[in-house]
Structure formats: structure tokens, C-alpha cells
Amino acid sequence: MNNYKLLPALVSILKTLNLTESAKQLNVTQSAMSKTLNQLREDFHDRIIVREANQFILTKKGEKLKAQLPALLQQLNNLYSPELMEPSLCNRKFTLASSDYVAQAILPSILSHIEKEAPNISIEYKQWHKDNLYNLAEQDVDLVATIADSVPDNLYGNLMAEDPLVVVFRNDHPHYNNNMTISNYINGRHILISGGGDKNSPIDQQLAIMNRKRHIFATVPFFQSAIELVLKTDTMLTMPLHIAADFSQRYDLKIKTLPIDIKPQQYYLLWHAKHHEDPEHKWFRELCLPLIKNHLERTIKYGMKLIHTHK
């Protein structure tokens, strides 16, 4: 490989599998992009992408390049970056992804610290879906705070905490004093949180194994809207303990143990290997980690007391 300047074009081609789209991204003609692909094929002694019906697919070599190139290019770019991060001089946009709850409960603290330490930095927050974890290299995301059962290859990160799912009612729910049995749980009216895709899915998967199904009264995308519905209806909401505990400090809510055996949810802060050596990224993740982790630990500890009190 003699022309390393072609590598950004290769990354684009591997991602889009579309020469027209890659040409638009790089602001070149489609003819120029075709010549670039032919040169890349010659350099790598492989076709890289091949046409199948009306689309392109990757060769085995193409798949290997797609997995490895983003991190390698980032390492090359880091050679030109300053060795030390000076927050007051940093002018960069970071992208953080997680649930709407993190945006509401923790993001303000993160931005407050950034405003004081690095006023030229900006933040873009994205709603996260845990299914994106296995293609994080292709996501325009610097950090993700997410539920995960395992950490895919090429990702770095920290396990911050874990907690169980619990059931939340308004304090004057007419059936609140009943024992929370599986039967009572299934026969109740449930609010389901759909946003992010990682809120309640383990519940319905386990119920399906038991050949049972709960009654979903309403489905909403966000935690705050779900809590508002619980406060005004005779419904129940299944959610992580730390979130239930946090909301219970502001609203008249009661928390009960979930009557189904579900393993605790584990919360990670993760980033792709392509960012790992970047000093600016390192500063950003080291700022975010304690703020998110401390919030989790504090609310989980408080939630454990509430479960005991509300039995």
C-alpha cells in the first residue's frame, strides 16, 4: 500500500457499500471514486467489495478492513494531535449516547463541569439503542452509557454498577397493599417504556418462557412520560431500581420487588478502540465516568432502602 491518502476513501466505501454515496461524502466525482476503488483493489490484491444482484457486499478481506481500519486511522491521526489535553483550549464536539433518563438526570452535571473546565467544547446527546453496540465503530458516538450483557471486541470501558428491575406504583394505587405475586403482576395494567429498546425487554422474554403475557395499557418512549401516567392511573411500571429511587424523591411513588427472577442489569460506559489513545477523548470519558458512576451508586443505595421499607 503506497498511498495512505486513499484510506479515508476506503473507510467510506466499506461503510456505505455505495460509490455514489461515498463520492458525495468525500466531495469527489463518481468517476474519481471508481478509480480510487480500482487502485485500492490493486494495492490490497483483493476486490474488497463485489456486486451481488443490485447491491455490493464485502469480501472477507473487506470485512477485515472494515473492522480494523477505523481504529488504525485514528491512531495515525493521533500522531498529529497534542500529547497533552488542555481543556481550556480544546474546541471539539463530543457525542454522548444513552437513555432519556441519563439526559435528564446526569447530563446537566456533565455539562456544568464542561462549561467550567472547557468552555469551547460542545456536546451532542443521542438516544441510544443497545442493539447498536456491535457496530459502534460505524456510529458517530464518542461514549455510550448502556446496559450490556457482555462487551464486544474492539470496545473499551468500565462496568459502573448493577441493579434489579422493580415495580413502581403511585402511593394511593387501590391494589398497592396486595402482595406482588406473579399473578397480580400479570393481571395488572402496565405502562411500557419503548424508547431505547432496553427498558423492559427481559420481562416479556421471561414471561414468554413461562407462557404468560402481561397487559400493556400504554406504551410511551420516555421515563418521565411513563411516571406521569403512573401518577394519574391505576397502573404499574417496571424499571431499574436506581431510576425508580430517583423519581421517588420527587413524586409520591412506592417500589416493590419484581415477582419474576430476572438477573440484575449491568451498566457500562463504553467507547470504541479507535478513540482509546486520543488524549482529548480520554479527558472527556474521565470527566463523565465518575459523574455517571456516582449517580448510579447513590441512587441504587437509596433504592435498596426503599425496597425494604415498602415490603
Structure confidence by residue, pLDDT tens digits, 137-194: 778 899 999 998 888 888 999 999 999 999 999 988 887 666 788 988 998 999 999 8
Q: What's the mean pLDDT in 191-218? A: 82
User: Greatest CA span in the chain, whole angstroms?
Assistant: 74
pLDDT at 2: 60
Question: Given 3.40.190.10, 3.30.70.580, 2.115.10.20, 3.40.50.300, which CATH number is that of 163-263?
Answer: 3.40.190.10
CATH code for 4-80? 1.10.10.10
CA 4, chain centre distance (Å) = 32
CA 84 to CA 282: how far, in whole Å?
10
pLDDT digits (tens, 9 = 90+) for 71-107: 888 777 777 766 678 899 999 999 999 999 999 999 9
For domain 90-162+266-303, the CATH architecture is 3-Layer(aba) Sandwich (3.40)
Answer yes or no: is pLDDT of 225 > 50.
yes
Better-scored residue on pLDDT, 289 or 135: 289
Is the pLDDT at 222 greater than 50? The verdict is yes
Q: How far apart are CA 60 and CA 66, in angstroms?
A: 10
Q: Rounded mean pLDDT of the chain?
A: 89
At residue 198 the predicted structure's pLDDT band, cuts being 50, 70 and 90, is very low
Give me the residue spans of the domains in the chain: 4-80, 90-162+266-303, 163-263
- pLDDT category at 258 given cuts 50, 70, 90 is very high
Per-residue pLDDT reduced to its tens digit, 41-78: 888 889 999 988 888 899 999 898 888 888 888 777 77
- DSSP SS3 for 213: coil
Report pLDDT for 309: 66
Domain 90-162+266-303 matches domain 163-263 at the CATH topology level: yes
Residues 6+ apart with CB under 8 A from 156: 270, 271, 272, 273, 276
Q: What is the pLDDT of residue 79?
A: 73
